Amino acid sequence: MKKTEQTAPLLSLHGIKFYRSGTPILDGVDLQISSGEHWVLLGRNGAGKTTLVNLIYGSVWPTAGRINLFGETFGETPLQVLRYKIGILDSSQQESALQKGLTVHDVLLTGFFHTIGFYRESDPWEEKEAERILEENGFGAKRNQLFRTLSSGEKKKVLFLRAMCTSPEFVILDEPCSGLDLTAREDFIDFLDEYKKNRNFTSIYITHRIDEIPPFYEHAALLKSGKILFSGNILDAFTSEKLTQLYDRKVVVENKNGTWMAINERR
């Protein structure tokens, strides 16, 4: 019988450890994400989620372990080559780092430059593509508006479009709903869900709340104190038993019309 050829995962983390001042932040993390999959990385504040994102993006280096991305091993391929294939939305850092005088159009263009600022002239194709993206996603009329004057929800959407403008193979969404009220959060989730319908990409969504996860995410990894408690199908991950262990509180997990909820059982 002919053996079925297995495709290598798009991202593989093998035995990842990361220490800061002798303290373990990540302790033996293993995770594999295949092309086309959408994963949630769920964990409490301080679990090591942001450190893991920084390792995947190459902002920091693991103390031990190996990272493979796009078939390349970190340390054997220039990181800048790999970063051009990654889109990242990290609004907590990006919003504060962007230059104050940038318009919505300017901010989107920085995605083509792979910089957080506006440091060179754009070419005609980039200009035209930026116009198309803004128009198709409801921001055509706001192209010349200062980015800093947008609402919090609008800023998240523009930063997401910025991350996606070069059609990256892998997308990192780091706490994308942080700072949003209920209405803005639900609007942003609907925006992501609609955007994904006609596009193919692989992503990891980092959060500490299950009620802000778009419905198309089908895989999850639970991170606690720098270790993976579970990784696999989201239906197997988001159970009352597993999330009670993750949060160290008795919770009951429900899913209503695609929205996950963890209900705290107070004594």
Q: Which one of 135, 167, 199 terminates a domain?
A: 167
Q: Which one of 167, 193, 214 terminates a domain?
A: 167
Predicted local confidence at residue 65, as pLDDT? 96
Q: Where do we find the tokens 């019309």?
A: 257
Say if residue 177 is in the same domain as residue 159. Answer: no
**CATH code: domain of residue 56:** 3.40.50.300
Say if residue 80 is in the same domain as residue 204. Answer: yes
Contact 216, 193 (CB under 8 A): yes
Does 5 fall in a domain?
no
The strand pair at 202-207 and 38-42 is best described as parallel
Does 90 fall in a domain?
no
The strand pair at 64-69 and 72-73 is best described as antiparallel
Contact 200, 36 (CB under 8 A): yes
Say if residue 175 is in the same domain as residue 163. Answer: no
Predicted local confidence at residue 140, as pLDDT? 96
Tokens of 142: 């706001």
CB atoms inside a 10 Å sphere around CB 90 = 23
Say if residue 178 is in the same domain as residue 155. Answer: no
**Bridge partners (DSSP) listed for residue 69:** 11, 72
Say if residue 22 is in the same domain as residue 152. Answer: no
Phi, psi of 41 (to 5 degrees): -105, 105
Contact 47, 225 (CB under 8 A): yes
Say if residue 259 is in the same domain as residue 228. Answer: yes
Say if residue 66 is in the same domain as residue 17. Answer: yes
Does 3 fall in a domain?
no
Furthest-apart CA atoms within the chain: distance in Å: 64
Distance CA 165, CA 86 (A): 11
Does 220 fall in a domain?
yes
Count: domains in the chain: 2
Tens of pLDDT along the chain (267 residues) come to: 444 455 789 999 999 999 999 899 999 999 999 999 999 999 999 999 999 999 999 889 999 999 999 999 998 888 888 888 999 998 777 887 787 889 999 999 999 988 777 777 889 999 999 999 999 999 999 999 999 999 999 999 999 999 999 999 999 999 999 999 999 999 999 999 999 998 899 999 999 999 999 999 999 999 999 999 999 999 999 999 999 999 999 999 999 988 999 888 765
Phi, psi of 24 (to 5 degrees): -75, 120
Distance CA 28, CA 244 (A): 22
User: Listing from the earlier edge strand, what are the strands of the sheet with 23-33?
Assistant: 23-33, 11-20, 64-69, 72-73
Spell out where the chain has E strands.
11-20, 23-33, 38-42, 64-69, 72-73, 86-89, 170-174, 202-207, 219-224, 227-233, 251-256, 259-264
Q: Which one of 144, 167, 190 terminates a domain?
A: 167
Say if residue 194 is in the same domain as residue 225. Answer: yes
Domain that holds residue 131: 99-167
Say if residue 56 is in the same domain as residue 148. Answer: no
Distance CA 201, CA 223 (A): 23
The strand pair at 38-42 and 219-224 is best described as parallel
Say if residue 143 is in the same domain as residue 67. Answer: no
Say if residue 75 is in the same domain as residue 176. Answer: yes
Say if residue 230 is in the same domain as residue 158. Answer: no
Distance CA 203, CA 34 (A): 10
